[in-house]
Amino acid sequence: MKLLRYGDAGAERPALLDMDGRMRDLSSVIKDVDGTALSPESLKRIAALDPAGLPLVEGSPRIGSAIARPGKFLCVGLNYADHARETGKEPPSEPVLFSKAVTALCGPNDDVEIPRGSDRTDWEVELGVVIGTRAKYVDEASAMDHVAGYALVNDVSERRFQSERGGQWVKGKSHDTFGPVGPWLVTKDEIVDVQNLDLWLDVDGQRRQTGNTRTMIFGVAHLVSYISQFMTLEPSDIIATGTPPGVGLGMKPPTFLSAGQVVTLGATGLGEQRQLMVQA
């Protein structure tokens, strides 16, 4: 099942994608694609609906972030060994955790802003994991029971802000529009093997990233269990699980984004995104 949100920013409505790829409005069933809607009971109720009985969404409205108002937008750094090495770092022995401000969240095809003073805005295609039930001190064997589904994420980053402006990475990760999520949430029952999903990203039609989640250092179950040892994961929390090699920072010479460029990205079963870079 694929759940999504459509409409103007700040006024999105929930929907599901039917078997023919058409949007069906879910406003009569759930208020939004949020923590309440992602509970196992709610997802079962939505899955039991006949999509043909739901209002058809006409036209081509804007698609918003697949998740509304997550409490936490967490990220895992350096989770692909070859990406770690291209940035000049050794693969970590434990997951590297950081966060993006939830105000970075935006729709999958919204414009992405180049921050004022930025000269190192970079791209990162990632698998996003969305929590469905509260997870605290969960073991790896039961970790996936707490996952509602998955979504495509572009972990847009400003490398100078991230590494040269002091403090933690969050400053380089949290500018408005630095967190496109979607186009939809795919419930976990639709993904046969989350550790075998192809990922790709192009800049102006040129392939920059090609990877597969099987090469992650720490898999999804491990990450959910690990993070739950340090903080409680709540329904709708998003975990961006790291990026494969091919980021601008790792190119020779390093190459970064500028206004007017277009980034497109996708992942097996999770859909595609397209973003125009604009100056903030």
Per the domain annotation, does 270 fall within a domain?
A: yes
As given in the structure block, the two tokens for residue 118 are 């930025």
The reply to whether 115 and 35 lie within a common domain is no
User: Alpha helices of the chain — where are they, by DSSP H?
Assistant: 40-47, 81-86, 159-164, 170-173, 220-228
The reply to whether 185 and 95 lie within a common domain is yes
The reply to whether 207 and 111 lie within a common domain is yes
Per the domain annotation, does 59 fall within a domain?
A: no
User: What is the pLDDT at residue 99?
Assistant: 96
Q: What is the mean pLDDT of each run of 10 residues along the chain (280 residues)?
A: 97 97 97 97 97 96 97 95 80 94 98 97 98 98 98 97 89 97 97 97 98 96 98 98 95 96 98 98
Contact of 232 with 68, CB cutoff 8 Å: no
Contact of 138 with 161, CB cutoff 8 Å: no
User: What is the pLDDT at residue 81?
Assistant: 81
Per the domain annotation, does 103 fall within a domain?
A: yes
Per the domain annotation, does 274 fall within a domain?
A: yes
User: What is the pLDDT at residue 88?
Assistant: 81
The reply to whether 136 and 16 lie within a common domain is no
The reply to whether 86 and 166 lie within a common domain is yes
Per the domain annotation, does 62 fall within a domain?
A: no
The reply to whether 39 and 156 lie within a common domain is no
The reply to whether 114 and 244 lie within a common domain is yes
User: What is the pLDDT at residue 110?
Assistant: 98
- HSE-CB of 245 using CA atoms within 13 angstroms: 14
Per the domain annotation, does 58 fall within a domain?
A: no
Of 254, 110, 265, residue with least CA distance to 202:
265
Per the domain annotation, does 63 fall within a domain?
A: no
The reply to whether 32 and 126 lie within a common domain is no
The reply to whether 45 and 108 lie within a common domain is no
> What is the extent of the structural domain holding 144?
73-279
Q: What is the CATH number of the domain that holds 148?
A: 3.90.850.10
The reply to whether 175 and 120 lie within a common domain is yes
Per the domain annotation, does 84 fall within a domain?
A: yes
The reply to whether 209 and 267 lie within a common domain is yes
The reply to whether 239 and 173 lie within a common domain is yes
Number of neighbouring beta carbons within 10 Å of residue 103? 13
| Total of domains in the chain | 2
